[in-house]
Structure 1
């Protein structure tokens, strides 16, 4: 064998040995954690949410090969899916990839009933609080700020743990005495009125002016408060 061939064989063997020396072995738990972290990172810009992720246990029959580079985790667009297949890739001298299924739950802060609330009952810190609920379980418009509900009344029975929406409550309820405010850039005039419809914050309601007897339309701006912008 020529000296060149011997040198080349030694160089090739050295390269192979070096690749083996620097290759890293990865266990199933590491790969599962890598997939979970990739999903968490994809939600880093989502505010006021708690993200819960759980990777499926890899089949023990799967052989996770060594890799002489750091493993890469790539995920598709989430698209509000509960399940994400994270692609784990080795881009080293002996490339390989595998997929790890990850379950995702996005939990949003919403106001819920601490216990059953009867129709006509006033909402207070004693019977409502903020809880984190899986967005997939929410139906309709949920309310995140309990301060907007204190003093409002339940329009219907609300079961324990139910997320509260504007349809469940009225800040101004039919038959309530309200403060009627006529407002402009130069003055505010207050008088008393009686609501002839239900409404939550921001809703328009009809109110009878107790002094003039006329029906007017205003917007609910607080508990038992209706404002007419002139």
Structure 2
């Protein structure tokens, strides 16, 4: 199946130098006001602004619809760092995208250099396909079985689906309860042909097509190859399922 699964695995250039009046990679960056020392509130504020701009640019560039929240973890209130004679530098550590739990490296390369890791969490909220009531394994999902519910997708490690049309008509691979967020692993394509059913075998190329009756010898979803008995010749052939009751054989 082609379920949309938001996995944010694109590689990003995540390094940004905050320089006064100089546009950075993901928007205008700003220098941190200099003072005799830099405290936790200044670091949190600068880190928050950096991530807000970074995430907004990432979502726009990736055409991802949703709202986000940036949370910077509390720092030790006793923290005092020497003022930086150069603009602070920010980069993400070991992360290919700015969503989820992050470690932000703040670095000073001035007269008194220092570096600090600032923990952060970027939440991304999107409507995802969710079951409204329990369904048994092998059930075909109907429109009345699902709804779109906003969730923090940064926590959905198993994937998720945002389009209801990519779920309707699919078959469940296991029993699922109410309020279950559907993932690609929960679904498989439903059989268009069942074993023992009569099917129409199409064969030929271009405008020349020959059709003949057949019998499916196994279940098959669209695109799968199955064994089919040609009821005219009694030969057993392999054919590709093209739709309900329809298979196509090569010449």
What TM-score does the superposition give when structure 2 sets the normalisation length? 0.57
Change (3 A) 1:64 1:226: farther
Q: Deviations over 1:45-88 (max 9, x none)?
A: 65658687643222222225544543220223426896432111
- Indicate the residue corresponding to 1:127 in structure 2: 145
1:163 aligns with 2:183: yes
* Aligned-pair Cα RMSD in Å: 4.3
* Residues 99-118 of structure 1: pairs in structure 2 closer than 5 A: 99-103=117-121, 113-118=131-136
Greater strand share, structure number = 2
Contact 2:214 2:230 in 1 (8 A): yes
- Indicate the residue corresponding to 1:220 in structure 2: 241
Cα displacement (A) at 1:101: 1.8
Distance in 2 (alpha carbons) for counterparts of 1:28 and 1:72: 11
Match of 2:192 among 172, 186, 197: 172
Aligned length: 206
Contact 1:27 1:64 in 2 (8 A): no
Contact 1:152 1:172 in 2 (8 A): no
What TM-score does the superposition give when structure 1 sets the normalisation length? 0.60
Change (3 A) 1:63 1:225: farther
- Classify the secondary structure of the residue corresponding to 2:247: strand
Between stretches 69-78 and 204-213, larger displacement belongs to 204-213
Unaligned 5+ segments in structure 1 are 1-21
Unaligned 5+ segments in structure 2 are 1-32
Q: Deviations over 1:106-136 (max 9, x none)?
A: 8999765443233454333222466775552
Q: Deviations over 1:150-200 (max 9, x none)?
A: 445556544442424486442325335545433523333445544333333
Q: Deviations over 1:209-228 (max 9, x none)?
A: 45554433222334554333
